[in-house]
Chains A and B, each alone.
Chain A
Amino acid sequence: MAIMQVHRSAAPAARPGHAERRTRLRRAAVGFAFMAPLLVVNVVVIAAPGAMSIWYSFTDWTGLGPASFVGLDNYTNLLGDPEFHNALLHNTLWTLFFLTVPMAMGLFGAFLLSHIRRFQMLFRVAYFIPYVVATVVSGSIWESLLSPDQGIGDGLAAIGLPWLKDVNFLGDPDLALGTVAFVNTWQWWGFLVVIFLASMQAVSPQLYEAARLDGANRWREFWHITLPGIRPTLMFLGLMTVIWSFLIFDYIYILTQGGPAGSTDVLGTLLYRNAFANLQAGYAASIGVVMALVSVIAVSGFLYLRRRGWDI
């Protein structure tokens, strides 16, 4: 009887399982069907050119005609190329700067905004506006503002504040990289404010109330509640900052084209110059592979930390 019951109960149970599997398969097929166009686009636009770039990085391709395999020559040349070292250093400095200064500004701005109710939306919009301005537009505006002839310095001098007069922010090799980073920060930090603020608003208010009851000041609230509460967002933006910093090209190209005297040259501008001015597309591809490698390392680190149980 008991066996019968088992059989009875087992038999009907097997049919829904099979049907369920079919349903799941059908759903998966439908899902893949919807995804397929995007996958095809990604294969065509990203995977295939990416694979070709890797191949070309081992060749002497000029950008035209056939390419001959040269083994690791391009990578060996990269190691001994002072222009590559210079560009890599600038990308590294850029990354460190954007991991610290704009992030700190964004966090601070968001934290302050999270404590106000009136006009919060106004500030959010005001901070965010630069982010939606086209790079070429904001780059051109800042180029004028920083002009030694008719820019901010000249304007301040006209009202009796001469400290910035004759400071050529984009023409002085010692100032140019920092200046371009400043301009990029102006556009970028408002975006960080909005993202961090959205994340902060998801942190439970009860935690803040409890902290206040325990006598915590604002700094301790920020350090012990806010930061842990937004850690996933923080880590994600940190990861993206590393990736984006090694892809930087637009502001540099618009404001300085890598000059003066290579003082703002980054991997992106070096790649562009080698590919299209020097007609060394193979060598340029090897620079591109190095840039991609940095992203791979950053993403791998991110995934590794997640697997180790980090809440990111």
Chain B
Amino acid sequence: MSEPLSRRRFLQLSGAAALGATALAACGSGGGAGGDQITYWGAFQTKDLEKYFKENFIDAYNKAATGADALKVNMTVKQIETIDRLTQTAVASGSGPDLIATFGPAQTLNYVGNGNLLPLDPYVAQYGWQDAFLPWALDAGRVDGKLYSLPANLETMAVFYNPATFAQHGWKPPTTLAEFEALCQDAKGKGMVPVGAGNAEWKPATEWDVTWVWNTFAGPTALYEALTGERRWTDPVFVDAINLLKGWFDKGWFGGSTDRYFTNKNSTVYSQLAGGGAALVFNGSWAFAEIGPYFGEAAGNDATWDFAPLPSLGSGVPAGVQPLSVGAAYSINKDCAQPARAADVLNYFVTDPARQLGTLAATGLPPAPVKVAEKDFPASTDPRVRRQYLALSSGANIGYTTWTFWPPKSDTYIYEQMEKVLVGQLSPQDYCAGLDKVFQEELKAGQRPPVPAPTGA
């Protein structure tokens, strides 16, 4: 499957409207239509997703908007590769859309800092957002006590595996460091790739590994302390985790070898998993939307996939940490001529569990972090997907993804410089020291997104 756009970018965008594949909305002023309609910028990975979104979100809203003060939504489709740049440029020039979609709290923060957004607090009670969203998710959109964005998708990370491969080799999903390393060693000895991985299509994929290793080795509590400035990134617990990851790469456990990791594509990784060439794949729940074509009838094989919670690599860290990812959020432009109507559209796009889970079932794309119960899932929902989102909805044992809770420069540092660690140009100590320097500057400048407290197991 050809995938020119990164998963992360794609799903960050896609999740933007709970559809997973859309980006953003705009209404009224500036580039919009001056208040007589709500204009919307959508960006889609495929024509099918565009069609689904148009029918189930845009057309459905317009059909329902029949009151005297109702405004129609007018969607313009943009290129998904450039929609964030287009939005940024438009907002910077004062002609931006009224409903601004971002890649999550970190990006929203930049718009807040520049005074581009309207507080959403007047609409919280009106639409019952406090009860609709998972509490931590709504809090992620608050800056200095004011709500500036609504979360539009929810992701986490897990271990994907092929049950047939596991049965053949007598493996079980690892829950501890010892089990993980034993499995990798065994797989390597059998000529397999222990962990299918690669960043050829999406350089920031390297931060996925940093994310899950830090969450499972250092643990959410240590991460929370570091994110809030109580602990430094030079702390041995973070350095040791990077050392561990580097050691695994050196052994050729990830992607086959470090140089292969740099050229492995998504198609390679999933094909290896389906064909029994790779034992595990650490990936985000966005894989639900893209893994299908490599397994079963669609791929001309009888392979299946499943996933397990992340193992615990560090002492005192419970297994099954769920690093939270809010890869998309909606806000209202301060210049919006009809902010109340924009809020109504926003509410329609992200809060209805039936619409969110219907989209998940139909497209596999992530829903907004709204409270859901088992009965809310359509019968057609893949049971594996249902299992994951029910676990996420419990709000237990949360962790932190680097692309959601780290400020922008620190986030870039994490994946750019990690490549230098992997090829031996930078030591784990220097890597963490460099991150600490960048992070402390951004923390001081108020650029760190809001961070929910850890919830424990």
Enumerate chain A interface residues (CB-CB to B < 8 A). 62-66, 147-149, 168, 170-173, 257-262, 273, 276-280
Contacts and interface: CB of A to CB of B under 8 A. Distances in A.
Nearest to B201: A257
A257 B116 CA distance: 31
Nearest to B206: A259
Contacts of A258: 203
Contacts of A66: 114
Given A173-B423, A259-B203, A261-B422, A278 B263 contact: no
A259 B408 CA distance: 19
B261 A171 contact: yes
Contacts of A149: 268
B419 A64 contact: no
B89 to A, nearest CB: 8
Given A62-B110, A62-B113, A259-B419, 12 more contacts: A64-B92, A65-B92, A65-B114, A66-B114, A168-B263, A170-B200, A171-B263, A173-B423, A261-B425, A278-B408, A278-B412, A279-B409
Given A64-B114, A262-B419, A279-B409, A171 B259 contact: yes
A170 B263 CA distance: 7
A124 to B, nearest CB: 33
B263 A261 contact: no
Contacts of B199: 259
Interface residues of B, number: 32
8 contacts: A62-B113, A64-B92, A171-B261, A171-B262, A257-B203, A260-B262, A261-B425, A277-B411
Given A64-B92, A257-B203, A148 B263 contact: yes
Contacts of A261: 419-420, 422-423, 425
Interface-central residue, A64, A65, A262, by most chain B CB under 10 Å = A64
B260 interface: yes
Given A170-B263, A171-B259, A65 B115 contact: yes
B390 to A, nearest CB: 34
B287 to A, nearest CB: 21
Interface of B: 84-85, 88, 91-92, 110-111, 113-116, 199-200, 203, 257-263, 268, 408-409, 411-412, 416, 419-420, 422-423, 425
What are the nearest 10 A-B pairs in CB distance?
A65-B114, A171-B259, A171-B262, A171-B263, A260-B262, A261-B419, A168-B259, A64-B114, A261-B423, A277-B412
A260 B419 contact: yes
B419 A168 contact: no
Main secondary structure, interface of A, reads: loop
A259 to B, nearest CB: 6
B114 A278 contact: no
B254 to A, nearest CB: 13
Contacts of A276: 84-85, 88
B260 A171 contact: yes
Contacts of B419: 259-262
Contacts of A64: 88, 91-92, 110-111, 113-114, 116
A279 B110 contact: yes
Contact of A172 (B91, B200, B259): B259
B408 A279 contact: yes
A260 B408 contact: no
A259 B202 CA distance: 11
A172 B200 CA distance: 12
B382 to A, nearest CB: 30
Nearest to A281: B92
A53 to B, nearest CB: 14
B230 to A, nearest CB: 25
Nearest to A149: B268
A168 B198 CA distance: 13
Contacts of B422: 261
A57 B268 CA distance: 42
Contacts of B200: 170
A77 to B, nearest CB: 12
Nearest to B84: A276
Contacts of B425: 173, 261
A292 B102 CA distance: 32
Contacts of A277: 408, 411-412
A62 B116 CA distance: 13
Contacts of A172: 259
A148 B260 contact: yes
A65 B412 CA distance: 21
Given A62-B110, A65-B116, A273 B412 contact: yes
B232 to A, nearest CB: 21
A177 to B, nearest CB: 13
Nearest to B96: A64
B262 A259 contact: yes
Nearest to B92: A64
Contacts of A171: 258-263
B116 to A, nearest CB: 7
A79 B91 CA distance: 31
B409 A278 contact: yes
Contacts of B408: 277-279
A172 B260 CA distance: 8
A114 B413 CA distance: 53
B4 to A, nearest CB: 9
A65 B113 contact: yes
Nearest to B87: A64
A243 to B, nearest CB: 25
Contacts of B257: 168
Contacts of A262: 416, 419-420
A108 to B, nearest CB: 32
Contacts of B91: 64
Nearest to A136: B4
Contacts of A259: 199, 203, 262, 419
A260 B423 contact: yes
Nearest to B410: A278
A170 B116 CA distance: 41
B198 to A, nearest CB: 9
